[in-house]
Amino acid sequence: MINTLFSDPISFFIWSLALILAITIHEFSHALVAVKLGDPTPKLQGRLTLNPLAHLDPIGTLMLLLVRFGWGKPVQFDPYNLQKPRRDAALISIAGPVSNLLLATVLAIILNLFIRPFGPYASLSSFLVPVIYLNVLLAVFNLIPIHPLDGGKILVGLLPKDQAGEVDSFMHRYGIFLLLFMIFPFFGGSSPVFSLLNPIINFLLHILLPTINYI
C-alpha cells in the first residue's frame, strides 16, 4: 500500500481508512464479547470503544501499510473472570472475524442494491470496496488455527480438555514461528499461507462483489 502514497495519494488515503476501520471493528468486537461474558478487563483498559486510537498498534499498523502484514493492539481478557474459560475465550476470539464478515456483508448489500444501480455515487463505491475487501481479508487470515491469531484460540476452545492443553502449550511456544514461516514467500514466490487462503478470500469476494473483477 505504501507504494501508492506518492503515485496515488487518494487511493492510499482510502485504503488506509478502510484498514483502520477493519481493525477497529475487529478489536472492539473482541472487547464487547469479553465484557458481555463477564470480564471487565477490556472496559477498564479503555478498549470498549470505537475510537481507532484505542485499538491501533503503531508498529503493527505501520507494518500493514509497508508490507501488508501487521496487527492491531490485542484485546486482553482475564480467563478467571469467565464462567467457562476455554469456551468463552473461543467466543471472544471468533467475535473479531465474525464482526468483519458481518460488516463486509452489510456494506456489500448496501453497495450492490442501493449504490451501484444508481450510478452517481462512484466516490462512495470506491471507499466501500476496499472496506469490504479488507474486512474479508482480516477475517479469513485471523481464522488460521495458529497462535497468536484468533483461530488458534478457537481451536483450543473446540478441542477436548486434555488435547487442548497440549495444543495450547505447543502454540504458545512455536505458533509465532510457524506463522512467520507460512507468511513469508519462498524464493520470490507467493506466500504459502496466502496461496491457501486466496481461494477462500476470492470465493467470498465473488459472492459479495460479483461485478468487481480487479480484486
**Is 27 assigned a catalytic role?**
yes
Give pLDDT, residue 139: 95
Q: Positive or negative CA dihedral for 179, 139, 66, 172? A: negative
Q: Give the active site residue among 20, 26, 27, 204.
A: 27
- Chain-centre distance for alpha carbon 58: 16
Give pLDDT, residue 214: 47
- Residue ranges of domains in the chain: 4-208
Contacting residues for 124 by C-beta, under 8 A, at least 6 apart: 115
Per-residue pLDDT of the chain (215 residues; tens, 9 = 90+): 555 555 667 887 888 888 899 999 999 999 999 999 999 999 999 999 999 999 988 887 777 766 666 678 999 999 999 999 999 999 999 999 999 999 999 999 988 887 766 655 566 778 899 999 999 999 999 999 998 899 999 999 999 888 888 888 898 898 888 888 887 776 556 778 888 899 999 999 999 998 765 44
d(CA 146, CA 144): 6
68: its cell numbers: 501488508
